[in-house]
Chain A
């Protein structure tokens, strides 16, 4: 458990935010936020996506100015105009998405932009080596960042803020990119640094992690702080209910509805990199049956995106066959595959799911431009499309003032509900859902889960790709693990734990009876 010995209560708190208010077009703003972070503690800030955590941290880090309220650091009131003001006050931020130049060395990345501190030569190197010990980074500063794994890259990010003299470190969703084992290593690093007197602000919506690492927790909901909790006594469920303000959804599906009717049958699917040097998909066999949810687990970049896009016909497979209900799709284009009964919730709704500046009803037509109710022959049926958009808006609880607003004006969760609603219309036989609840709020998440479960019960076959292992385990009837373009293991969602899946995903091998390896992966250079 976390060491509370290093938390000193008599000193002025490291950071105090009082009455922070930020008005912002369209999204949940911060209103009257209060936050006190004591020196030397790990303070977690919890809230669902869109609750205003990021805005608050941007204010604390000087990226945005609050409309009202004050910021105190070490008892002194400060006013940050830019991030460099915040850095001067000893506040550093590690962003969720790494901001590292792959083709530079660790030292170059760390020194970049802070050349004035210790130069760029031996002095800087000495300082980096001294600091890397504190972050648990055991690599030479001369190593290229592209050779580092995800966990070490994160340490380099931490190193960057330490090098700039940060005493208070904001970690923005630091575990989102890590597998469970790496999360534990990160937590060891955080605890070690905490003992050396560093203060952490840990932003997360993963409650088990918050309880494992934090000394105190502040919950933020709909832009305002709704309370604090002691992570040692509060349960994840209680915390979550504070976050949501109501009962919690769960991805758990009740009884199996799997039938023996094969809907999607993928055989020997191969896809090469554009230069033909190595396979992205290597001999993938996959069967999804009616009423079954097949989940694909894997660290991002192991071929899941490409698998989906190949099944959708957006990429051309090198070899292999794709069959949907005895219909050979292998040579057909994306539109014909959609017409054959595939619904597709893409992983990036902005890039692949929506026409952002077009009204909602216009977006309803996308992918259905040849079918009822959006089209009649070569003509668009705008009335039909509008009427059906109204249906989706009400059935899927899309919060919008009307169907004529552009899609970009909606929040992420409402955009996603629109996409899911669209892709479930027209009675598809197969739904391909890539990260269907990524970046959406808990309310939308619950609704999307319910809709997927309902469609599954009605006989829909679902191929689910998700980085959220709880979601994957909760929704799936079968889980397959993808590693370097191959399906390497099957897991039983009834017994497997996220940790077991995590080891299978990294190729560490099976650690539990719930994971059966189905293929041996040669140790490649990739």
Chain B
């Protein structure tokens, strides 16, 4: 009861606080915050917005899971952004150049994506384990390399082809697509969302029920206690980084397998960074991350309506930023209050038990 309150109160407070902050920003810029928020809410029912939000939620969810695995052991994989970009190009190139029966073709593309993401993440992992290179710095640099590397791979003299005025990889044959659920005029939900749900369940089982999850959490909680308890720190860095990269490698696939069937210059960028914020928002918990991803997707998609009421759409970015900031602060405050309360409770219960100790 108190536990649940401790989990739900901080994000709720943070959202209210950031709405107030954005409202203030809107008032200062001369707009009416109520009509702005109203426009965002009513937008959900219009056109394909609802399905877009759900699709987007799934993509953000995968991204945040990838980040959260590293966060569990205080490993900051900032490189999810680069990992999913490279993985998407490689998966698109492989998927577009092989012919396999339906189903198997899709599966191969997924596996290739995961492997490519893991391979891209392996470089900073190995650097950290062998040379102690800080993963934050190396993954950020790998992000820069990923942009160049993916641009190189889709050059026309490498794997790319010119279609209209867009450069893209050869289209994946329909045997490699993943069918979605169509809602007619309201859009089509990606079939990959089920993979996202499965990943969330798998993540929860791994963190709470397996030895690996225990070692990951122990390393994050106290690296010294973990090492005294026999957890091999280097192995944990390597494995969790590879796992994080493998999941990151799946981020580009919902759109690719369900809609685009190719990697082109229109590729959606920036999801890896959103994943960092969402993992923070969801406290690395699969349920919390789902909620964070949904909120993020809602803000993204219904923020498009703001232009209609004459409010700059960028206000959404301010809101996202302030939510993350306030959530981090709120969790820390609640954590301290709860620990003190717990100590008081234990003290009180033992005080009544009595006995010289």
Contacts and interface: CB of A to CB of B under 8 A. Distances in A.
B182 interface: no
Contacts of A409: 339, 342-343, 345-346
Interface in A406-455: 406, 408-411, 413, 441, 443-444
A406 B230 contact: no
Interface stretch (A271-279, A288-296, A372-380): A372-380
B232 to A, nearest CB: 6
Interface residues of A, number: 50
B356 A245 contact: yes
B166 to A, nearest CB: 46
Contacts of A355: 217-218, 221-222, 225
Nearest to B232: A333
Nearest to A339: B230
Nearest to A352: B228
A346 B229 CA distance: 10
Interface stretch (A155-163, A397-405, A505-513): A397-405
B134 interface: no
A369 interface: yes
A487 B211 CA distance: 39
A352 B225 contact: yes
Nearest to B235: A333
B231 interface: yes
A334 B227 contact: yes
Interface stretch (B47-55, B303-311, B316-324, B347-355): B347-355
A74 interface: no
Contact of B211 (A26, A334, A336, A380): A380
B222 A333 contact: no
B346 A410 contact: yes
B209 A380 contact: yes
Interface in B223-256: 224-232
Contacts of B343: 25-27, 408-409
Which applies to chain B's interface (DSSP): helix, strand, loop or mixed? helix
A353 B229 CA distance: 8
Contacts of A408: 339, 342-343
B37 interface: no
Interface string A236-279: 00000000111000000000000000000000000000000000
A25 B225 contact: no
Contacts of B341: 25
Given A379-B209, A382-B209, A406-B339, A413 B357 contact: yes
Contacts of A367: 228-230
B225 A353 contact: yes
A131 interface: no
A331 B230 CA distance: 14
A365 interface: yes
B353 A366 contact: no
A354 interface: yes
Contact of A441 (B210, B340, B357): B357
Contacts of A443: 356-357
A370 interface: yes
Contacts of B357: 399, 411, 413, 441, 443-444
A508 to B, nearest CB: 34
A346 B228 contact: yes
Contacts of A26: 340, 343-344, 346-347
B232 A335 contact: yes
A358 B72 CA distance: 14
Contacts of B135: none
Nearest to B355: A399
Contacts of A336: 230
B333 to A, nearest CB: 15
A204 B105 CA distance: 75
Contact of A222 (B349, B353, B356): B356
B212 interface: yes
A351 interface: yes
A77 interface: no
Interface in B33-50: none
A401 B215 CA distance: 27
A238 B211 CA distance: 51
Contacts of A400: 346, 350
A344 interface: yes
Nearest to B224: A351
Contacts of A352: 224-225, 227-228
B211 A378 contact: yes
Given A222-B356, A369-B214, A406 B342 contact: yes
B222 A399 contact: no
A244 B356 contact: yes
Contact of B214 (A333, A354, A365, A441): A365
A380 B222 CA distance: 19
A339 B344 CA distance: 37
Contacts of B213: 380
Contact of B212 (A244, A337, A378): A378
Contacts of B227: 314, 334, 352
Contacts of A441: 357
A27 B231 contact: no
Interface string B175-219: 000000000000000000000000000000000111111110110
A25 B228 contact: no
Interface in A308-342: 312, 314, 333-339
B214 A25 contact: no
A25 B340 contact: yes
Nearest to B349: A401
A314 B229 contact: no
B243 to A, nearest CB: 14
Contacts of B340: 25-26
A344 B214 contact: no
A27 B214 CA distance: 30
A354 B218 CA distance: 9
A244 B356 CA distance: 7
A334 B230 contact: yes
Nearest to A346: B228
A405 B214 CA distance: 18
Interface string A479-508: 000000000000000000000000000000
A472 to B, nearest CB: 22
Interface in A207-236: 221-222
Contacts of A245: 356
A338 B230 contact: yes
Contacts of B208: 380
A334 to B, nearest CB: 4
A221 B357 CA distance: 10
Contacts of B212: 378
Interface string A348-369: 0001111111100000011101
Contact of B230 (A335, A354, A410): A335
A380 B210 contact: yes
A366 B229 contact: yes
Contact of A379 (B210, B222, B228, B339): B210
24 contacts: A25-B341, A26-B340, A314-B227, A333-B230, A334-B229, A336-B230, A351-B224, A352-B224, A353-B228, A355-B218, A366-B226, A369-B214, A375-B211, A380-B210, A380-B211, A382-B209, A400-B346, A400-B350, A401-B345, A405-B345, A406-B339, A406-B342, A408-B343, A411-B357
4 tightest A-B CB contacts, nearest first: A335-B230, A26-B343, A367-B229, A366-B229
Interface of B: 208-215, 217-218, 221-222, 224-232, 339-347, 349-350, 353, 356-357
